[in-house]
Amino acid sequence: MDRTSTIEFDAEIVLRRLGRGWILDAFETWLRTGKASHPVVQMEDLFAKLQELTEAGDPDYDSIISTADQILAKEAEDEDAIKCKFVALLNLKKFSQALDVVKDKPKACKALSFERAYALYRLNQHADALEALESSGTKSGEHVGMDLLRAQVLYRLGKYKESSEVYASVMDEETDPGELAVNRSAALCSAGDPTLGEQVLRGAATMLGDNADMSYNRACALIEKGDLTGALKALEDAESLYRKECEEQAVTEAELEDGLIVYNVQRGYVMQRMGQGEKAQGAYEEALKRKPTDQEVAAVASNNLFALRGKDTSLFDSAKKAKALNLDEQVEDKLTVQQRRVFALNRCLLNLYTNKTKECHQALSKLDKELEGSELPSLVRAALLAREKKMDECTALLQKHAEANPKTALLVKLTLAQLQLSQGDREGAIAALESVEGAYKQGGIVGSLVKLYEGVKDTAGAIKTLERAAESGGSSKEEKQNSRKFLLLSADMRSRSQDPVEAMKALEAVMLAGEKDPDTVARLVNLCAAIDLGKAEKYSEFLPAMDAASEIDVQELESFQRALPATRDADEMDVEATKAKMVALQEKRRQRRLMRRKKEKASVTLEDGRSVVVEAFHLPKKYAEL
């Protein structure tokens, strides 16, 4: 939750910047154009009155509007009267009426491009506001007010990087540099650069002195960086500074307590991220119990509490506490794009879990707007149909979305496969999983496909899936290991399906990939022995030497043979023949062993070298002190 100081446009300043005497100049122009169809005295009085009203210390905006209307009744295109009325309406926060003043008046629109953009911004018509600013023809740096408004509009549109760049370019002595730093930092954090965002705030605090807003936003930057311990410390500093600022401003105790709620909610979020669920829940519940006046704070606490507790707890209690999720449009517009999306989704889920079908459908319209092109709205609609036992419609909806978005509908296709499997349609589930983009690069999907193929007695399909998965592997170490596993599984399945030739090919592919695992080599030699003795002999060279054979004692073997009990049907001749063969084999091995030992005496065998690695360690650096 970013807490930024909104730099608002002051319409009263615009009235004063128009300059003294501009109304009388407009009156003289009106006379020269020959448009004085009414008594001159009456028009002169109107302009004089308007002049007096605009220069008053506390302008009466209603009187300004009334006087401007009298002038416009006589001269509908008078630009100066239009300006006065437009700005007065802005001060009264009647933004729609202000825009109506310049409707179908292109010349006035261009002259009031800044003011018109501000009105659109306040009406949350941010795209139109940006267009009004861009069409003004004013370059960056020429009009500070336009630059600040452009930065705010870009922020609301989710164009955070561009917004931060505009804030960085603003050079104005009248603008609070602390507010600029806070807003720029908020934009940088939302743009995915919290490190620079924190640096901006640290630099501003060094030059200007720290304050509550700076410290709070520094905590937000640290949260984005993942430095949760540092974030807690920054929140403590921010709260301390806030208390001090309130004392200096003589803020009431009630206002102080209300302002502290935001720090408690943010602290709860940090504890939630740290896995301290109970403490986080306590912080959120305490915040909601205090009933904060800031709807944004209440909404964030409600949302996080719902996400923390989930659907398996008391849904009635969750729904009661989540009422704050229903924000006013003006308040919701202050949230970041990501926050608005999360709020919209959680509203749908809460209504879904509490069986509020009508409310869920209403919330879906908001979700469609916030997540245009996403698969989440389709998943929520499918869940609604499933709850209503409309399984055919549910399946059709998911299939339609999957066909329209073949490369992005991962969750939809997985849900469709699960739904079809629950209905006994294994073939449909297989088709859904195989249509997933990059399915054969995801071990979970590959394993599911193999299991499904085995379930429908399609061994060939399972083997093909494993082989495609092996072929889809990349060049990284992990991907190569996965490819090896898939090839070995493929070989096992082929062996079980009485296809030794293809099993041998699969194991050979593993060998060609550089695999020299003794178990794999032994399996390959065993397969080759029944198919191709030449290959069996070739691959047997990769087997490790059997040193255990040198320890065999012929005498012990003979005594073991004599100790075997003879059966009644045993043929003594066969026993003697077998014994003779064994003795001959052992004698042959003994001769080979003697020859090997003679060769070994001619050289010195060194023990294998072994390296001992001492792992390095370092102490973490402390944060630079200001």
* 333 pLDDT above the threshold of 80: no
DSSP 407-476: TT-HHHHHHHHHHHHHTT-HHHHHHHHHTSTTGGG-HHHHHHHHHHHHHTT-HHHHHHHHHHHHHT--SS
Q: Would you state the pLDDT for residue 18? A: 36
Q: Would you state the pLDDT for residue 624? A: 28
Q: Mean of the pLDDT values across residues 95-121?
A: 89
- CATH number of the CATH domain containing 528: 1.25.40
Tell me which of 155, 175, 195 is where a domain ends.
Answer: 175
Q: Would you state the pLDDT for residue 160? A: 94
Q: Which two tokens stand for residue 15?
A: 């009235």
Same domain for 126 and 50: no
* 398 pLDDT above the threshold of 80: yes
CA angle 551, 557, 561 (to 5 degrees): 160
Percent of the chain with pLDDT over 70: 76
Same domain for 543 and 480: yes
In a domain, 163, yes or no: yes
Q: Would you state the pLDDT for residue 245? A: 94
Q: Would you state the pLDDT for residue 514? A: 64
Q: Would you state the pLDDT for residue 527? A: 74
In a domain, 551, yes or no: yes
Q: Would you state the pLDDT for residue 596? A: 59
Question: How far is 83 from 65, CA to CA, in rounded Å?
Answer: 10
CB atoms within 10 A of CB 153: 26
Same domain for 84 and 109: no
Same domain for 88 and 106: no
CB-count exposure of residue 124 (10 Å: 0-12, 13-18, 19+): middle
Question: How far is 367 from 496, CA to CA, in rounded Å?
Answer: 51
* 31 pLDDT above the threshold of 70: no
* 597 pLDDT above the threshold of 70: no
Sign of the alpha-carbon torsion through 306, 309, 312, 313:
negative
Question: How far is 97 from 378, CA to CA, in rounded Å?
Answer: 38
Q: Would you state the pLDDT for residue 322? A: 59
Percent of the chain with pLDDT over 90: 29
Q: Tell me the residue range of the domain where 41 lies.
A: 1-92
Tens digits of residue pLDDT in 38-53 = 444 477 778 778 877 8
Between 18 and 312, residue with greater pLDDT: 312
Between 401 and 476, residue with greater pLDDT: 401
Tens digits of residue pLDDT in 144-176 = 889 999 999 999 999 999 999 999 998 877 788
CB atoms within 10 A of CB 341: 18
Question: How far is 272 from 367, CA to CA, in rounded Å?
Answer: 25
Q: Would you state the pLDDT for residue 602? A: 37
Same domain for 494 and 472: yes
Confidence of residue 22 (pLDDT cuts 50, 70, 90): very low
Residue 524 contacts residue 555 (beta carbons within 8 Å): no
In a domain, 165, yes or no: yes
Between 323 and 384, residue with greater pLDDT: 384
Which residue's structure tokens are 């009263």?
A: 12
Same domain for 83 and 38: yes
Contacts of 109 by beta carbon, 8 Å cutoff, 6+ apart: 102, 116, 132
Tens digits of residue pLDDT in 427-450 = 888 998 988 888 888 888 888 998
Confidence of residue 609 (pLDDT cuts 50, 70, 90): very low
Tens digits of residue pLDDT in 102-114 = 888 888 888 888 9
Question: How far is 509 from 515, CA to CA, in rounded Å?
Answer: 9
- CATH number of the CATH domain containing 145: 1.25.40.10
DSSP reduced 3-state for 314:
coil
In a domain, 46, yes or no: yes
Question: For the chain, how many residues are written?
Answer: 626
* 340 pLDDT above the threshold of 70: yes
Tell me which of 92, 113, 131 is where a domain ends.
Answer: 92
* 377 pLDDT above the threshold of 80: yes
Between 19 and 85, residue with greater pLDDT: 85
In a domain, 263, yes or no: no
Range with lowest mean pLDDT among 4-13, 183-192, 276-285, 349-358: 4-13
Q: Would you state the pLDDT for residue 459? A: 85
pTM value is 0.68
Same domain for 85 and 49: yes
Question: How far is 314 from 345, CA to CA, in rounded Å?
Answer: 19
Question: How far is 512 from 534, CA to CA, in rounded Å?
Answer: 17
Cα of 26 vs its chain's centroid, Å: 56
Same domain for 557 and 474: yes
Residue 214 contacts residue 198 (beta carbons within 8 Å): no
Confidence of residue 99 (pLDDT cuts 50, 70, 90): very high
Tell me which of 175, 206, 233 is where a domain ends.
Answer: 175
Same domain for 122 and 74: no
Question: How far is 488 from 510, CA to CA, in rounded Å?
Answer: 8
Amino acid at 557: L
Task: Tell me the backbone φ, ψ of residue 339, rounded to 5 degrees.
Answer: -65, -45
* 595 pLDDT above the threshold of 70: no
Tens digits of residue pLDDT in 185-233 = 999 999 999 999 999 999 999 888 899 999 999 999 999 999 999 999 9
Same domain for 163 and 105: yes
* 303 pLDDT above the threshold of 90: no
In a domain, 498, yes or no: yes
Same domain for 551 and 481: yes
Mean pLDDT of the chain: 78
In a domain, 239, yes or no: no
- Number of domains the chain contains: 3
Q: Would you state the pLDDT for residue 317? A: 60
Same domain for 549 and 475: yes
Residue 24 contacts residue 18 (beta carbons within 8 Å): no
Q: Which two tokens stand for residue 94?
A: 């009647």
In a domain, 354, yes or no: no
